[in-house]
Amino acid sequence: MTLTELEEQLKILHEDNHVIVIVKPQGIPSQADKTGDTDVLTYVKQYLKIKYQKPGNVYCGLVHRLDRPTGGAMVFAKTDKAAARLCEQFREGKITKKYLAVTVGEPRESRGRIQTYLVKDERSNVVKSHVAAVENSKLAILDYKVLDTFEGLSLFDVNLITGRPHQARVQLASLGTPIFGDVKYGKSTVDGAGGNVALWAYSLGFTHPTTQETMVFKVFPPSEEIPWKLFPLEKHINIAKPQ
């Protein structure tokens, strides 16, 4: 790919000598997996290699992940020091990660906290939720608020307190409200869905690893697609809709 093509693919929100923040496309893995499909980390490395004419391997630190079907804001480290400091922020829960999700159905409570224990089956790549700790489980916590409803669908604002694989998908399904289009955890397909899971990382906040500046990045979901187009998103998340 050319530099221009990579820039269009990554939709770079911010770049300096230490970090690069991009918009991860839906349907692309965050890092290499058994499918062999090109991943976002590889795209970022290609971009850095071409833009700065770097010989050999290019360093780019993967400090967090988004599930393959999920799109939205994602930060990468350009130095090992930045990677170590960002990873520490993630471990200590100092990163803010907010998602929009559209679910099929409405929960009993319009806001609340989900705290369950998740176990991932590596062979099937499926995560199961348990109300109490079981062998190999990890505590998963998220806060949610229902922003709007429309004809049996609910627009959620999700704040991930922890960052477990498939966490929002599994935990929202446990409320009886699987995410729109998520065949794996809800078989909730609707005509016109376009094959995407309606989960979008719309806000990412962290402390810059060098300047210590508080940085917050917000990105609009694909608003022309169903189900996003069914909701007045600007009103709820205070982000201007891209023209």
49: left (phi over 0), alpha (psi -120 to 50) or beta: alpha
Kindly provide the residue ranges of all beta strands, DSSP E only, lying in 78-180, ordered along the sequence: 96-104, 111-121, 126-130, 138-150, 153-160
Residue 32's CB: how many other CB atoms inside 10 A?
Answer: 12
User: Which pLDDT score, from 0 to 100, does residue 192 have?
Assistant: 43
Which value, in Å, is the radius of gyration of the alpha carbons in the chain?
A: 18
User: Which pLDDT score, from 0 to 100, does residue 191 have?
Assistant: 46
User: Which pLDDT score, from 0 to 100, does residue 37 have?
Assistant: 86
In one letter, which amino acid is 11? Answer: K
Q: Is the pTM of this model over 0.85?
A: yes
What are the DSSP calls for 152-173, one per residue?
TEEEEEEEESS--TTHHHHHHH
Q: Return per-residue pLDDT of the chain as tens, 243 residues.
A: 899 999 999 999 999 999 999 999 999 999 988 888 889 999 999 999 999 999 889 999 999 999 999 999 999 999 999 999 999 999 998 999 999 999 999 999 999 999 999 999 988 889 999 999 999 999 999 999 999 999 999 999 999 999 899 999 999 999 999 999 998 898 654 544 446 899 999 999 999 999 999 999 999 999 889 999 999 999 888 877 776
User: Which pLDDT score, from 0 to 100, does residue 48 have?
Assistant: 97
Main-chain phi, psi angles of 174, to 5 degrees: -65, -20
Instruction: Quote the tokens at residue 60.
Output: 């780019």
Any catalytic annotation for residue 39? no
Main-chain phi, psi angles of 233, to 5 degrees: -65, -40
User: Which pLDDT score, from 0 to 100, does residue 179 have?
Assistant: 96
Rounded Cα gap, residues 139 and 147, in angstroms: 26
Rounded Cα gap, residues 146 and 106, in angstroms: 8
Instruction: Quote the tokens at residue 235.
Output: 């009103």
Kindly name the residue from 33, 39, 67, 148 that is annotated as catalytic. Answer: 67
Which residues neighbour 80 within 8 Å (Cβ) at sequence distance 6 or greater?
59, 61
DSSP label at residue 214 = E
User: Which pLDDT score, from 0 to 100, does residue 195 have?
Assistant: 61
Q: Helices 3-10 and 40-51 meet at what angle, rounded to 10?
A: 140
Rounded Cα gap, residues 86 and 186, in angstroms: 33
